[in-house]
Chain A
């Protein structure tokens, strides 16, 4: 190991709060000791990462309050050193941390709130793509429909939540008192996506739409979608419902492409 190698590893270990002998490589001056000088970097390290987390999880911060949010950030920084070149992506593991770790996982709504905030962040700067229009589909030959598959634009994300986390998120966004936590009878699905005006949107998904949009996003065909809808509707209603969903996905600027055999 070269001297530079050794210095950098010791410096990093120091920043991460691990055993390090970096101090003996640093000059003390009458104004400030080596330890005091290094401490400026230790403070800066945490401050910078906390600033990034605070930017990304504003609503979670509002829900928990300063003290509890700080303990979440402390644990995150301890568990997840950054492997990112861009601070934008530093806190991507927050939902996982809140789901895995006690005491945070005793309140599952926290992981769900973090998931919602992350979905909006991902939607905000997802890749720009050309969108499918109603005219594109209208031009298809009738025989194309059976094997028709869809590509959704990159900002489209489906969130399956077990609590009333979205109403809580909405209240926090409006700076209102959030409702009490309630566990849902069954998982509730929401969709988050960005439209061409670069604004992110969200809405709840009814059970039937949630079932088929997930299939569509997995690359299943229009025929598969219709078959799934038979779980909810009769044979007469099913094609109308399928077309209705497809039209709304196009009008809401969710579809980026289609393919068929």
Chain B
């Protein structure tokens, strides 16, 4: 299918609820962190419902632990499915990582060894998740700080193989490519060039912090110029891809973050034709047979 395009979005954070509800700022869509709304009721869900009434949404999770050797957490998936029914998102995503083992949650996005055995393990689990949820999902590439010595392939090949065999899509985090390229000494353009275009459904953009020679994915700064350059490069390769900025710390005013999103809009307008940037209507990824 041709790639649906939602336009340019932002991560919905509690600091922005009131501004968004009161002013209905021009943003094409919002991405929510799914777990923040896996609560019984109250303000989080009330605000979510109000904002959803006015904006398209996608759901982004941090706790599926798709790469874990623990059994899939069916209680979590049940709650996720309930939230999907409430939000009716255009799509849902989580990370190509593991977070939990022995039922202990690290609350971190921990990296996987890039080899055939891991691919087999994860493909099987994504298929199960897509069956349970009744829809295709997106998997996101990580920022990482270690390489396992039993990794056998570049990360982009690992991501491609999983997306192809599980028949899922890729949420390509441009900042994470930049961070991991620095930390593992590869060319970020090789990563972008290596990713299967037809599997890419969404981009993430974010800021990061330096810790000596390493870069840490902190989401606490503006998007830096080299990441904007890589974003432009990715747009040339993939065409229009729904794009959003994640900000999780050192949160700026909504107006400042919205202003930062105009940089993405400007780069896209300079790179692609207006027709390519037409926003798609009624996008929902297909159910799983």
The residues of A with any CB-CB pair to B shorter than 8 Å are 2-5, 7-9, 11-12, 15-16, 25-27, 29, 31-32, 34, 37-38, 40-41, 44-45, 48-49, 52, 81-88, 90, 123-129, 154-155, 194, 198
Contact = CB atoms under 8 A, between A and B. Distances in A.
Nearest to A200: B42
B76 interface: yes
Interface stretch (B18-26, B212-220, B223-231, B268-276): B212-220
B104 A12 contact: yes
A4 B147 contact: no
Contacts of B194: none
Nearest to B212: A32
Given A26-B149, A85-B76, A86-B63, A128 B214 contact: no
25 contacts: A2-B69, A4-B117, A4-B118, A11-B101, A25-B150, A26-B147, A26-B148, A27-B147, A27-B148, A37-B214, A38-B146, A40-B214, A41-B146, A45-B106, A83-B105, A85-B76, A85-B105, A86-B36, A88-B35, A127-B40, A128-B42, A129-B41, A154-B40, A154-B41, A155-B42
Given A4-B112, A82-B106, A85-B73, 6 more contacts: A4-B118, A40-B214, A82-B104, A86-B39, A154-B41, A194-B42
Contacts of A44: 108, 216
A32 B214 CA distance: 8
A86 B38 contact: yes
Contacts of B165: none
Contacts of B121: 4
Contacts of A194: 42
Interface residues of B, number: 45
A124 B43 contact: yes
B211 interface: yes
Nearest to A39: B145
A7 B150 CA distance: 10
Contact of A81 (B104, B108, B211): B104
Which residue of B39, B46, B106 has the most chain A CB atoms within 10 A of its CB atom? B106
B45 interface: yes
Contacts of B42: 123-126, 128, 155, 194, 198
Interface in B149-182: 149-150
A44 to B, nearest CB: 6
B103 A126 contact: no
Contacts of A41: 108, 110, 145-146
Contact of A9 (B46, B102, B103, B105): B102
A73 B141 CA distance: 31
A45 B107 contact: yes
A60 B118 CA distance: 44
Interface of B: 35-36, 38-46, 63, 68-69, 73, 76, 98, 100-108, 110, 112-113, 117-118, 121, 145-150, 184-185, 211-214, 216
Given A2-B117, A81-B104, A85-B35, A125 B40 contact: yes
Which residue of B39, B113, B213 has the most chain A CB atoms within 10 A of its CB atom? B39
Contacts of B147: 26-27
Contacts of A198: 42-43, 46
A15 B106 contact: yes
Contacts of A82: 104-107
Contacts of A8: 68-69, 98, 101, 110
Nearest to B100: A85
B104 A4 contact: no
Contact of A126 (B41, B98, B118): B41
Given A2-B117, A7-B113, A31-B185, A40 B41 contact: no
A84 B102 contact: no
A49 B69 contact: no
A128 B45 CA distance: 10
A59 B112 CA distance: 39
A156 to B, nearest CB: 13
Contacts of A87: 35, 107
A66 B117 CA distance: 46
Contacts of B35: 85-88
A2 B115 CA distance: 13
A88 B39 contact: yes
Nearest to A199: B43
Given A48-B108, A86-B35, A40 B145 contact: yes
Contacts of A123: 42
A86 B62 CA distance: 9
B107 A7 contact: no
Contacts of B148: 7, 25-27
Which residue of B46, B102, B105 has the most chain A CB atoms within 10 A of its CB atom? B105
Given A9-B102, A12-B102, A124-B42, A25 B149 contact: yes
Contacts of A5: 69
